[in-house]
């Protein structure tokens, strides 16, 4: 494969609601805005297609793997705009009829699906009246997923996964890591940026974190601060709150230079911890 030239990448920030078609329309407008700014690889946030009034709402709109309006949308827009699209997460059917797999689906410029990653680590949090238990409506995945693309090797993760560095170590070396997310405000304020920068630094890779960012119809508040981070841990671009596009240039030479200066990946003594 010939060397990859610098290219633009975009992280889409949304404030999704309970109506799938409205969210798809909002996502399409933002994707088109990103492509208009030159992005060739675009990432959507976790739950881009639905942030329901109840956790069970995503179960009601779950799709069979490979077919359904959400998956059709992702395939269509990737093919139409000739981009690679990391589709945030889509609720897919699983063995338990009361739960879904929270799946990150990736499509190439032909609209062909090239990867599926099911969120492994499920968020649980309680502080005062704020409480979350993803395991009540989501079946956890169990398989890390990295794949080769026209823009380098990409590792996939989702939101709460970012707290588990062993997942990212299993991917190394990769060129890009995606972390589509819907972080809460309390945990986001305290930990979001430092976790993302740590994962980029230890991977010596670019990290792209498209996020939900604002107050949703259910009253839930998400932290936002979608960002793109370089292999040295510098934040190249960030959007605090509200729908919008975060865009930056990715330069493969920067990855090579960072790994030449600090060959930490070559210095590892413990490789590929299987306990994710």
Domains and CATH numbers, the chain: 7-261 (3.60.110.10)
Tens digit of each residue's pLDDT, the chain (276 residues): 567 899 999 999 999 999 999 999 999 999 999 999 999 999 999 999 999 999 899 999 999 999 999 999 999 999 999 999 999 999 999 999 999 999 999 999 999 999 999 999 998 877 666 677 899 999 999 999 999 999 999 999 999 999 999 999 999 999 999 999 999 999 999 999 999 999 999 999 999 999 999 999 999 999 999 999 999 999 999 999 999 999 999 999 999 999 999 999 999 987 655 443
Residue 270 pLDDT: 73
| Annotated catalytic residue within 49, 94, 159, 238 | 159
The pTM of the whole model exceeds 0.85: yes
CA distance 268 to 194: 22
Residue 275 pLDDT: 41
Is 159 one of the catalytic residues?
Answer: yes
Is 119 one of the catalytic residues?
Answer: yes
Residue 1 pLDDT: 57
Cβ atoms < 10 Å from Cβ of 29? 12
Burial of 264 (0-12, 13-18, 19+ CB in 10 A): middle
Cβ atoms < 10 Å from Cβ of 209? 30
| Annotated catalytic residue within 49, 119, 134, 238 | 119
Strands 226-229 and 235-239: antiparallel
Query: How does DSSP assign the chain, residue by residue?
Result: -PPPPPEEEEEEEB---S-HHHHHHHHHHHHHHHHHTTEEEEEPPTTTT---SSTTHHHHT-B-TT-SHHHHHHHHHHHHHT-EEE---EEEE-SSTT-EEEEEEEE-TTS-EEEEEE--SPPEEEETTEEEEGGGTB-------EEEETTEEEEE--GGGGG-HHHHHHH-S-SEEE--B--BHHHIIIIIHHHHHHHHHHHTSEEEE-BBEEE-TTS-EEE--EEEE-TTS-EEEEE-SSSEEEEEEE-HHHHHHHHHH--TTTT-SS---S--
Are 18 and 259 contacting, i.e. CB atoms less than 8 angstroms apart?
A: no
Residue 3 pLDDT: 74
CA distance 178 to 157: 6
Residue 124 pLDDT: 82
| Annotated catalytic residue within 46, 63, 134, 139 | 46
Is 130 one of the catalytic residues?
Answer: no
Peptide bond into 173 cis (omega under 30): yes
Are 112 and 82 contacting, i.e. CB atoms less than 8 angstroms apart?
A: no
Residue 79 pLDDT: 98
Residue 274 pLDDT: 46
């Amino acid at each position: 494969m010939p060397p990859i030239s610098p290219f633009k990448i975009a992280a889409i920030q949304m404030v999704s609601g309970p109506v799938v078609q409205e969210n798809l329309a909002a996502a399409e407008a933002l994707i088109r805005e990103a492509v208009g700014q030159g992005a060739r690889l675009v990432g959507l946030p976790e739950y881009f297609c639905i942030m329901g009034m109840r956790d069970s709402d995503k179960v009601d709109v779950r799709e069979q793997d490979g077919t359904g309006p959400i998956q059709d949308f992702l395939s269509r827009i990737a093919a139409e705009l000739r981009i690679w699209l990391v589709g945030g997460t889509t609720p897919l059917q699983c063995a338990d009829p009361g739960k879904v797999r929270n799946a990150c689906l990736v499509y190439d410029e032909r609209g062909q699906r090239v990867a599926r990653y099911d969120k492994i680590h499920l968020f649980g949090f309680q502080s005062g009246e704020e409480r979350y238990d993803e395991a009540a409506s989501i079946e956890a995945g169990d398989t890390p997923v990295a794949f080769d693309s026209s823009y380098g090797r990409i590792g996939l993760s989702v939101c709460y996964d970012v707290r588990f560095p062993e997942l990212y170590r299993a991917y190394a070396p990769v060129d890009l890591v995606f972390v589509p997310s819907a972080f809460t405000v309390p945990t986001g304020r305290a930990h979001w940026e430092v976790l993302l920068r740590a994962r980029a630094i230890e991977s010596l890779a670019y990290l792209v974190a498209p996020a939900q960012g604002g107050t949703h119809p259910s009253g839930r508040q998400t932290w936002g601060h979608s960002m793109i981070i370089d292999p040295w841990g510098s934040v190249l671009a960030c959007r605090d709150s509200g729908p919008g596009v975060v865009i930056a240039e990715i330069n493969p030479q920067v990855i090579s230079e960072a790994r030449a200066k600090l060959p930490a990946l070559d210095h590892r003594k413990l490789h590929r911890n299987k306990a994710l």
